[in-house]
Amino acid sequence: MKKLLLVVAFFSIFNFQFSASRACTNFIVSRGASTDGSTFITYAADSHTRYGQLRYCPAADHHPGETLRLYNYGNLKFQIEIAQPAHTYQVVGFINEHQLAIGETTWGGRSELAHGSGVGIDYGNLIYVTLQRARNCREAIKVMHELVSTYGYSDGGESFSIADPDEVWIFEIIGKDDEKGAVWVARRVPDGYICGHANQSRITTFPQAQKRSYQAISSDNIKQIDRPEVECVYSADVVSFARRKGWYSGADADFSFADTYNPLTFSGLRACEARVYAMFRRCADDMERYEKFAMGDATAERLPLWVQPSRKLSVQDVMALMRDHFEGTPMDMTHDVGAGPFHCPYRWRPMDFEVDAQKYVHERAISTQQTGFSFVAQCRKWLPSKLGGVIWFGVDDTYSTVYCPVYCGVTQVPVCFEEGNGSMSQYSETAAFWLFNRVSNFCYLRYDSMIQDVIAAQRELEDAFVKEEGKNADRWAQEENEARMEGALNRFSNERAERMMRRWTELDRFLLMKYIDGNIKQAKEGRIETTETGVVKYPQQPPYPEWFYRQIVDDHGEVLRAK
């Protein structure tokens, strides 16, 4: 395992293709909504070109006048050169050494603003630079504002999830076309509540500053964000810019950021808000009232920005929220004819299609086959920072991945997640991305049976990882020697990743033996059963479901009829 030096290459982790598939999903959990007082954010990078890997950037001191060259995350061209501060913090993936974590989803917004001014910092580099310079949510918002104000913003609409051990925030931003900077608004998720976003702006109206009240402040006095009572921050021209463009003419207090800069469409509802609805309904009561809205009816009752869950969530509960195919809703992807005879909850792209001049859509679920990587970032106030922050990292489809714990204080990234270990065009035997894709793609052939073996192995590993992580965290919290703690964190994260790779390699081989050629061999405790003489027991040959046979007959029955 080698130490990975990250300077300007980090931007490539954000190279997404944004199309009708609407990439990425984030969920946000406040301290009061979790079982142990952790904060959580989740992130799924869903792109057919996204490779799953973790990047590491060490902390560093910088000389006066030192600069950082940034390259565009999409075309890899030089973008801008910015001044370095005296010190930058260590970053592992999307979390830094102070347990500040950031995720995102892209929504683009108004076509006039889709690429910002074209000059300045893009959203990927905005995350990267902020993680290197901020210690908590409020500092992160200030850094983001200062960066886009100083250097400009070259992107369209984005929603960011921001978490530290105390708080979680949702931050939404969009560029200003030919004007420097951006308009934005950020809101703290109330303690005890959960939030989410999925490629659709979600902040509508928001509290605005009043005299002698700092419950909400503008960027004119952004330093006041350090006051704990501050719960909303926004750019000074967030309303006036919309007025100048002719997009808004009402009272300031009635201004809706989302409705102005990212008006709802059918796809914004069905492909995006529906994913947030899927998460909310798993956590809170009385969510079915928003079902029509999620299914594309903009006149129905609107999904709230955040909800209070009916029970508190553990880290495993949060992992489970990333594994959804709309089960239990009219959009359930496991039962219609598109799922095939083996109930596969995936639809190959494109999402939309047309038959006899009528347009239709495939559902865009949280769990999707094109996920490159996903994570659950966990931040814990009661532990030392480098031990308290964990990025539970997984590659490929969230439903069949394993979330492996990597501490924010590690100085070695596990080999299977290491930058440069394979790519989308280079296969690697030691890369988790290729191993997990091999297993999941095989499962798509006979999904309802094979996924049960995958889930069993997944739970085996994740249950053990969560238990072991909790036990060791309590013990290591007493360690006063930083070097010894760092070594322990490296060993723990790397050993769990290696165990995961061994187990998934075994699973890969087992699935081939058990399900070869459409048969299902009998198996027990992960081994193919044999007779007393060592002969493999005769495999099961389960028939297709009745409805599938009927479709075959309706389509081709005259040819297939037995004489």
- pLDDT tens digit sequence for 510-528: 999 999 999 999 988 888 8
Reported confidence tier of residue 220, pLDDT bands at 50, 70, 90 = confident
d(CA 368, CA 348): 10
CA angle 268, 53, 498 (to 5 degrees): 130
pLDDT, tens only, 223-274 = 899 999 999 999 999 999 999 999 999 999 999 999 999 999 999 999 999 9
pTM score: 0.94
d(CA 288, CA 306): 15
The whole-number pLDDT of residue 526 equals 83
Position 315 pLDDT exceeds 70: yes
Give the residue ranges of DSSP H helices in 422-446.
Answer: 432-443
Instruction: Answer positive or negative: Cα dihedral of 3, 8, 14, 16.
Output: negative
Position 16 pLDDT exceeds 60: no
Reported confidence tier of residue 19, pLDDT bands at 50, 70, 90 = very low
Spatial contact of 351 and 20, defined as CB atoms under 8 Å apart: yes
The whole-number pLDDT of residue 400 equals 98
d(CA 302, CA 291): 9
CA angle 365, 370, 374 (to 5 degrees): 80
The whole-number pLDDT of residue 141 equals 98
Please enumerate in sequence order all residues whose Cβ is within 8 A of that of 184, keeping only pairs 6 or more positions apart, or say none: 144, 145, 148, 171, 172, 173, 174, 234, 235, 238
Position 8 pLDDT exceeds 70: no
Spatial contact of 404 and 393, defined as CB atoms under 8 Å apart: yes
Spatial contact of 408 and 431, defined as CB atoms under 8 Å apart: no
Reported confidence tier of residue 132, pLDDT bands at 50, 70, 90 = very high
Position 92 pLDDT exceeds 70: yes
Please state, for a pLDDT cut of 90, what percent of the chain lies above it.
Answer: 83
The whole-number pLDDT of residue 211 equals 59
The whole-number pLDDT of residue 525 equals 81
The whole-number pLDDT of residue 216 equals 84
Distances in Å between the alpha carbon of 430 and those of 2, 358, 395, 404, 416?
14, 46, 13, 15, 6
